[in-house]
Amino acid sequence: MNAKFFTLSDEKPMPPKGENRMDAIKINNLTKYYGKVCGIDNVALTVSKGEFFGFIGPNGAGKSTTIRTLLGLIRPTSGSASVFDMDIINDKEKILALVGYLPSEALFYPGMRVRELIKFSADLRKKNCQAAAARLCERLQLDTSRKVEDLSFGNRKKAAIICALQHEPDLLILDEPTSGLDPLMQKEFFDILRERNKAGATIFLSSHILSEIQQNCSRAAIIREGRIIACDSVEALSKTNAKRVNIQGTVDLGHLCGVRDLQKSDMGMNFLYSGDMNTLLSTLSTGDIQDLSIAEPDLEEIFLHYYEDGGAK
Amino acid sequence: MTIVKHELKQGLVSFAIWTASITLLMMVCVFLFPEIKGEMDTMGDIFASMGSFTAAFGMDRLNFGTLVGFYAIECGNVIGLGGAFFASLIGISSLSKEEKGRTAEFLLTHPVSRTHIISEKLISVLLQIIVMNVVILAFSLGSMAAIGEAIPWKEVLLLHLAYFLLQVELASICFGFSAFLRRGSIGVGLGIAAMMYFLNLIANMTESMEFLKFITPFGYCDGADIVDSGKLDMTLIAIGILFTFAGIFTAFSKYRRKDIQ
């Protein structure tokens, strides 16, 4: 897992450099209440142009609310946001012309064929995207002569992907894009995303699948109960002071402070450690250890750490 | 006009079934007339002695033995009810179906303003009503010619005009409601249409309830009034047009700011 992470990290697009770069997304203290229920609370976030940005959080944390506000589907209770320096309320149509959106749950009009749906989407954008659509259909292996209501969940997702990508948008907003896609298709899909990103498109990927974020994104934000609790580069997010310690052999950890997520097996044990290193080493030296590894925890573990601690950091 | 085209395509089957059904019933009614005319001597007394029901359908003032009298009552009920139900149905589902079918997220994330979407949806509703009425009128006139009766042009055209305005009014009122609804829209639409129809029956039966005619669009569609006076009641129609615009205005002001689920 970690090895894979490090090899892939070299290929990851770097965050754009330069001072006067326009922000693709800028969210200022955005708050949305559904009646008395809080959707998001004071969310502030900036995504630079050309970034591959991850947006992490479990179901119901406010990911979709944030996205739907950006797209003008719902109006914020307070706060503001802009996309490519355009206001999300006043310049909504101009923004939507530059955005491709992939909803988490892709549902379409009954009775339409896939090809009609793709054409309808292009017509609404007043664009001719036939060539791009045909290329995408071939790469994703989608039969365009079928009726949308006969499609499986995964194939509906493919149709939605084509509608979101065919006009070659400058900003792609993806809400849990891979659910329903088989692993081969997921790979193809992320290949396409990386190509688009290299060509200059900004990608905003909302997901609760951390490996997706870790393998593709340069920066990420973590949202919890409507609040952003962390926002940094994926590497920095992974680099907390906690380490994953893996031991083969026996040792009495005794009163060692900072041990979490302790898992024991016949062969040994492993745990997350965030205490003093010297204390750890001296404790370990008292035991009978055949093998030892101390590594950075992966994002999955960081994520749990953020959630278990209630985001207090 | 992308959305108009899309809407018409989506509604084509339902439109075809409603139009065909109403047209067919109208034709059957007209083709029944020669037989009714022959039996009118005996039936006249029966129709005249049904008490308030006679008044409810205007049969106390219209002569069932003439084509225009028969047409105003029988066909008036067919196109009145059928047209009202269809108009309410397409009006009420026009906006609400996007959220009900969860397609709003797809449609509204394209670079098209909500004002634009509402306008095109409204146009498609009106277009369906117009085409439906033209088809019904054409086949009704054809049937009258086929049974060899002289066509009472003025009365027939006035009746059809009144029913057309009624459908536009009901569709617009329902269109206004449609902006608020997410589920259960069809029931609301049919309910509004049925309520308006019965309000008119009550207004016809009870004098103290005559004010109801100012509320229901069926008030200006009364066959007996139209045939009697040879014109439409412009006061009632003006009120109807007010309701129409109120419905459309409501739809725009609500849907433009609505949080979409």
Render pLDDT for A145-186 as a digit per residue (tens, 0 to 9).
999 989 999 999 999 999 999 999 999 999 999 888 999 999
B102: chain A residues, CB-CB within 8 Å: 105, 107
Residue range A68-97, pLDDT digits in tens:
999 999 999 999 999 999 999 999 999 999
Q: Cβ of A249: how many Cβ atoms within 10 Å?
A: 14
Distance of CA A8 to the CA centre of its chain: 16
Name the residue among B10, B102, B260 with its Cβ closest to that of A105. B102
Q: What average pLDDT values come out for chain B (261 residues) when binned by 10 residues?
A: 95 97 95 84 69 71 82 88 96 94 93 97 98 97 93 94 97 97 88 94 87 92 88 94 97 95 81
Contact call for A120 and B6, based on CB within 8 A = yes
Alpha-carbon distance of B145 to A23, in angstroms, equals 72
A11 vs chain B: nearest CA distance in angstroms? 32
Task: Say yes or no to pLDDT of A277 above 90.
Answer: no
| Helix (H) / strand (E) containing A272 | strand A268-273
**Dihedral sign, CA of B111, B114, B117, B123?**
negative
Contact call for B259 and A124, based on CB within 8 A = no
Mean pLDDT score, A267-273: 86
Q: How many CA atoms lie within 13 A of B209 on its CB side?
A: 12
Alpha-carbon distance of B38 to B106, in angstroms, equals 60
Beta bridge pairs of residue A207: A56
Task: Say yes or no to pLDDT of A14 above 90.
Answer: no
Alpha-carbon distance of B139 to B79, in angstroms, equals 12
Name the residue among B106, B111, B257 with its Cβ closest to that of A108. B106
Task: Say yes or no to pLDDT of A19 above 60.
Answer: no
Alpha-carbon distance of B65 to B50, in angstroms, equals 17
Residue of A nearest to B13 (CA): A111
Residue range A187-233, pLDDT digits in tens:
999 999 999 999 999 999 998 888 888 889 999 999 988 999 888 88
Nearest Cα to B168, choosing from B118, B225, B70, B237? B237
Q: Quick one: pLDDT at residue A8? A: 40
Contact call for A107 and B111, based on CB within 8 A = no
**How deeply is A290 buried, as exposed, middle or buried, from its count of CB atoms within 10 A (0-12, 13-18, 19+)?**
exposed
Residue B165: which residues within 8 A CB-CB, separation 6 or more?
Answer: B217, B220, B237, B240, B241
Q: Cβ of A22: how many Cβ atoms within 10 Å?
A: 12
Q: Residues 78 to 137 of A: which have CB under 8 A from any B CB? A: 92-97, 99, 101, 103, 105-111, 120-121, 123-125
Name the residue among A99, A101, A108 with its Cβ closest to that of B103. A108
Mean pLDDT score, A229-238: 84
Alpha-carbon torsion, ordered A118, A119, A124, A128, to 10 deg: 110
Residue of A nearest to B108 (CA): A73
CA distances from A302 to A53, A57, A158, B166 (A): 17, 12, 31, 64
Residue A49 amino acid letter: K
Q: Quick one: pLDDT at residue A273? A: 85
**Pairing assessment for the beta strands A23-34 and A99-102 based on DSSP bridges:** unpaired
Alpha-carbon distance of A124 to A120, in angstroms, equals 6
Task: Say yes or no to pLDDT of A2 above 50.
Answer: no
Phi-psi region of B69 (alpha: psi -120 to 50; beta: other; left: phi over 0): alpha
Number of cross-chain residue pairs from A and B with Cβ atoms under 8 Å apart: 63
Would you say A48 and A17 are in contact if contact means Cβ atoms under 8 Å apart? no
Residue showing tokens 């009163």: A255
B3 vs chain A: nearest CA distance in angstroms? 8
B112: chain A residues, CB-CB within 8 Å: 93, 96, 124
Beta strands (DSSP E) in chain B are: none
A160: chain B residues, CB-CB within 8 Å: 106
Alpha-carbon distance of A124 to A137, in angstroms, equals 19
Best probe of the A interface among B5, B103, B110, by most A CBs < 10 A, is: B110
Name the residue among A71, A75, A111 with its Cβ closest to that of B109. A71
A109: chain B residues, CB-CB within 8 Å: 6, 10, 101, 103
Would you say A99 and A175 are in contact if contact means Cβ atoms under 8 Å apart? no
Distance of CA A286 to the CA centre of its chain: 43
Between the two ends of chain A, the Cα-to-Cα distance in Å is: 26
B111: chain A residues, CB-CB within 8 Å: 93-97, 124-125
Contact call for A124 and B110, based on CB within 8 A = yes
Burial A62-86 (b: 16+ CB within 10 A, else e): bbbbbbbbbbbbbebeebebbbbee
Mean pLDDT score, A241-248: 83
Would you say B225 and B204 are in contact if contact means Cβ atoms under 8 Å apart? no
Would you say B160 and B137 are in contact if contact means Cβ atoms under 8 Å apart? yes
Would you say A109 and B10 are in contact if contact means Cβ atoms under 8 Å apart? yes
Alpha-carbon distance of B30 to B149, in angstroms, equals 10
Best probe of the A interface among B2, B106, B260, by most A CBs < 10 A, is: B106
Beta bridge pairs of residue A54: A205, A220
Contact call for A124 and B107, based on CB within 8 A = yes
Running DSSP on this structure, what letter comes out for residue A150?
Answer: G
A37 vs chain B: nearest CA distance in angstroms? 14
For chain B, the structural domain boundaries read 2-256
Q: Quick one: pLDDT at residue A115? A: 94
B6: chain A residues, CB-CB within 8 Å: 109, 120
Contact call for A120 and B102, based on CB within 8 A = no
Q: What is the mean pLDDT of chain A?
A: 86
CA distances from B221 to A3, B87, B244 (A): 79, 15, 16
Give the residue ranges of DSSP H helices in A13-113. 63-70, 92-98
Contact call for B103 and A109, based on CB within 8 A = yes
pLDDT band of A240, cuts 50, 70, 90: low
Nearest Cα to A8, choosing from A181, A194, A192? A194
Contact call for B109 and A101, based on CB within 8 A = yes
Interface predicted TM-score (ipTM) over 0.90:
no
Whether residue A190 lies within 8 A of chain B, CB to CB, comes out as no
pLDDT band of A21, cuts 50, 70, 90: low
DSSP B5-57: HHHHHHTHHHHHHHHHHHHHHHHHHHHHHHHHHHHHHHHHHHHHTSTHHHHHT
